[in-house]
Amino acid sequence: MTNSVPSGQKDVDDWFDLDRYKEAAGVAYEFSKKKMEDQGEQERKTIAKGAEEQRFTERSQEARDNRQARQAYKF
C-alpha cells in the first residue's frame, strides 16, 4: 500500500482512503457484535443461576413448611 497522493489532491491530508475506512468499520462492527453476543451469554447465565437459586429456595421452604405442618398435626 503506497502513500501516494491521487491526481487532483494537494497532499496526503486531502486523501481519504475509502477501502481502509471500510476495513476499519468492518473490524469495529465485528468487535461490537462479539461484545454484544458475550454480554447476552453472560446475561443468560445470570438469569439461569438466579432461577436455579429461586427454585432451590422454594423447595427448601416447601420442605420446611411440610415438616412444620406434620409436627403441628401430631399435637
pLDDT digits (tens, 9 = 90+) for 42-55: 999 999 999 999 99
Q: Please state, in angstroms and rounded to a whole number, the distance separating the CA atoms of residues 5 and 11.
A: 6
pLDDT higher than 60, residue 75: no
> What is the per-residue pLDDT across 13-42, written as a single tens digit (0 to 9) for each?
556 678 889 999 999 999 999 999 999 999
The pLDDT, as a whole number, for residue 1 is: 47
In a domain, 1, yes or no: no
Bigger pLDDT: 74 vs 50: 50
Number of domains in the chain: 1
In a domain, 36, yes or no: yes
The pLDDT, as a whole number, for residue 59 is: 95
**Alpha-carbon torsion, ordered 4, 10, 16, 20, to 10 deg:** 10
Q: Please state, in angstroms and rounded to a whole number, the distance separating the CA atoms of residues 2 and 24.
A: 18
- Its domain, for residue 34, covers 19-74
In a domain, 46, yes or no: yes
In a domain, 11, yes or no: no
The pLDDT, as a whole number, for residue 19 is: 84
In a domain, 2, yes or no: no
